[in-house]
Amino acid sequence: MSATLPLPSPVAVSAAQPSRSYWAVVWRQLRRDPMALAAGGVLLLIIAAAVFAPWLAPADPYKASMIKRLLPIGSSGFLLGTDELGRDLLTRLMYGGRLSLLMGVVPVLAAFGIGTAIGLFAGYVGGKVNMVIMRVLDVFYAFPSVLLAVAISGALGPGLSNSLIALTLVFVPQVVRVAESVTIQVRQLDYIEAARMSGASAFSIIRVHVLGNVLGPVFVYATGLLSVSMILASGLSFLGLGVKPPEPEWGLMLNTLRSAIYSNPWVAALPGLLIFVTSIAFNLLADSVRSAMDIRR
């Protein structure tokens, strides 16, 4: 069959065409990646369900019923069954996504901002300042992240904001490391020397020439942290260090449903399944973003 292949026509790269900006190219690349589309679609669905939970959810997430405890999946009126206190599980999963996603995204965003700033500074200044900053952060880095998160939030006490702070502190050293190493690479390139030759101030050089080239790799690394953050947050809640009952949160739900694992295993597994699916989707999307952003090298 003489199928016409969608070859890029030579005209498309001719001189007359205006260049696309870097992010436009990345976006186009992402839209063509089926994995990115699938992962993005799943995430969008989960996020939408969480955000619009008050309007979409079929029941009240706090309304318990002693008679309707641990109903199996597909019971009439309770699509995904009920939990150990007879609350509608679908509703609680939708509401639970709000806190779980919040705890996945907020610490990573905060660590991305703080870590990039510290990393840029340490990497650009170099020398002894860099050494002091990096060695101090290495102390944090030396602990496994789960242990560190548990230790910090244990010290701060349970609660949502404390677990957010704990998770941010866990991620900052990791982001700083990436930002610092990329900054050091970028700093020794000739275009930085050329910018120095132009008499520009260090601030202007960092803003115009360093930041733009460091942000990409750090962003990719941070997207990979989203799933870790969600799992750690769920772990903290599971251990009783995060959100307190009766607040719906996936990790906490996994904990409280643990006792039902023998009587009603499918219902008990649902929060864990959601954590799993969400973090996998974040990871796949991060991988796609990484390859989409790789076009320049």
Residues at the contact surface with other proteins, assessed by CB under 8 A: 15-16, 18-19, 22, 189-191, 193-201, 204, 208-209, 212-213, 296
Q: What is the smallest separation between the CB atom of 41 and other proteins, expressed in angstroms?
A: 30
Three-class SS of residue 75? strand
Nearest to 217 by CA among 271, 175, 277: 175
Q: At a CB cut-off of 8 Å and minimum separation 6, what does 156 contact?
A: 162, 165, 166
Query: What's the CA gap between 239 and 88, in Å, rounded?
Result: 23
Query: What's the CA gap between 152 and 173, in Å, rounded?
Result: 14
Do 267 and 257 form a contact (C-beta atoms < 8 A)? yes
Q: At a CB cut-off of 8 Å and minimum separation 6, what does 30 contact?
A: 36, 288, 289, 292
Report how far Cα 39 is from the mean position of its chain's Cα atoms: 13
Nearer to other proteins, 15 or 142 (CB): 15
